[in-house]
Amino acid sequence: MDVERDTLHQLYYYLKLTRHLEERITSLYRQGKIVGGAWTSNGTEAISVGYSYALEKDDVTAPYFRDMGVFLVRGITPRRIVAQYLGRKTGVTGGKEGNVHIGDINFGCFGFPSHLADNYPVAAGAALAFKIRGEKRVAASSTGDGGTSRGDFHEALNFASVLKLPVVFFCNNNQYAYSTPLEKQMAIKDVAERSLAYAMPSEIVDGNDVVAVYKVSKEAYKKARAGEGPTFIECKTMRMHGHSEHDAAKYVPRELLEEWKKKDPILKMENYLLENNHASENELKDIDKRVHDVIEDAEEFAENSPYPDGKEAVEGLYATPIEKVKTL
C-alpha cells in the first residue's frame, strides 16, 4: 500500500500534536493546575494516531485512556481538551468529566469508561448496528495489554467473531499494566494469541511505526467493510513514563527504557520522512510550528475559560427528562 505524501505529513502532525499536547498537560499537572489525575500515551502515540487516521469520517471509535491521538485525529480540538483537563465549561464534557474521559458523538468518539475493556463490547455493538442496517461503516476500539485479561474482552471478541462484525480491536501492548509486567498478566508470548480463541484473524505490528499501524489498520477496516469480519491487532510498544504522572515506575528496568527510547515513534517517523524524501526539514519545521501554535492557543483558551456553575452538577442526567417528576 502506498501512502500519500499528504497523509504522511498529517500522520507526523498528529504524532507531534499528541506528544506535545500531553507534555503540556503534564507540565500543567506539575503546576497543580490539573485537579485530577493525568496520564500520557508518551512513546506510544503512533498507535492511536495510526489507527484513527486510517478510519473514514463515518466510522466510530471506542477508545481507552492512552488514545489521545484518536481524539485529536477525529477532530476534537486541543482547546476543548485542555479545557477538559482544567475542568472548564468549555471542555469536551463541560466539566462533568475530567482528563481523557472524553467522548463526543459528533466526532464518532464514544466516551471512555475507566473500566478497562468495557469499550470492547460497546464497539462490537456499534458494528452490529452497521451490519443490521447494511451500512459500510466500521468500529474501532482499543485497550491495554492489561485490559485484555478482563471478561469483557473475551465476551466482545467472541461476540464479534460469531457475528462477523465490522469491528477492529487494537491492543496497545506497552508491556506493563500499571506495575504489572506482561508475564504476570498472561502466559502467552504475544497478546495476539488471544484471538485464536475466537478464530479471529490477528496482526502484530510495530506500535512505534505510525505508517505501519496506519497500513495494517486500513487493511483490517477494508476487510471489515467488505463483510469479512473483525480483526485483532496487537501493537507492540513500551510505556515510557510511569502509569500516571505520580508514578516513578521504579519497577521498570532502566535498560528496557533505554532500548525503547531509540525506537521513539516520532524519531522513527522523522527519519523515515527525511530519508525517503517524503518531507523536507523545512516542511517538518512548519509542522512543528503549527503544533506549537495550536497548543499555545489551546492553553490560553482553556485557562481563560470559565468554570461551570456548581449547580450544573445536577443537570443533564437524562436525555428524555421526565417532566412530571423532578428527581433532584
Partner 1 sequence: MKEITYVEAIHQALWEEMERDDSVFILGEDVGIYGGAFRVTEGMYEKFGELRVLDTPLSESGFTGAAIGASLVGMRPVVEMQFADFISCAFDQIVNVAAKNYYRWGGKTPIVIRAPYGGNIHGGAFHSQCPEGWFFHTPGLKLVAPAFPSDAKGLLKAAIRDDDPVIFFEHKFLYRRIKEEVPEDDYVIPIGEARIVQEGSDISVITYGAMVHTALEASKNLEESGISLEIVDLRTLMPLDKETVFDSVKKTNKVIVLYEATRSGGVGAEVAALISEEVFNYLDGPILRISAPDTPVPYSPPMEEYYLPQVEDVVEAAEKLAAY
Ligand X SMILES: Cc1ncc(C[n+]2csc(CCOP(=O)(O)OP(=O)(O)O)c2C)c(N)n1
Residues catalogued as catalytic? 239, 243, 251
What φ, ψ does residue 60 adopt, rounded to 5°?
-125, 155
Q: Give yes or no for residue 76 binding ligand X (CB under 6 A).
A: no
Q: Which of 284, 261, 262, 171 is nearest to 217 (CA)?
A: 171
Residues with Cβ within 8 Å of 320's Cβ and at least 6 positions away in sequence, in order, are none
The secondary structure of 103-128 as a DSSP string is -BGGGTB----SSTTTHHHHHHHHHH
Cα angle 327, 118, 266; round to 5: 120
Block residue for cell numbers 495494517: 216
Contact map string, positions 242 to 281, toward partner 1, x by CB under 8 A: ---------x------------------------------
User: Within 13 Å of residue 197, how many CA atoms lie on the same side as its CB?
Assistant: 13
CB nearer partner 1, residue 87 or residue 265: 87
Q: Which of residues 180-239 bind a second copy (CB under 8 A)?
A: 183-189, 193-200
Residues 97-136 vs Mg ion: string with x where CB under 5 A?
A: ----------------------------------------
Per-residue CA distances from 223 to 220, 226, 229, 243, 298 (Å): 5, 5, 7, 34, 38
Closest distance to partner 1 from the beta carbon of 229 (Å): 15
Stretches 36-44, 69-77, 79-87, 146-154: which one binds a second copy (CB under 8 A)? 146-154
Provide, rounded to whole angstroms, the least separation between the CB of residue 110 and a second copy: 20
**By CB under 6 A, residue 170 contacts ligand X:** no
Q: Is 67 in the site for ligand X (CB under 6 A)?
A: no
Q: Is position 174 an interface residue for Mg ion (rule: CB under 5 A)?
A: yes
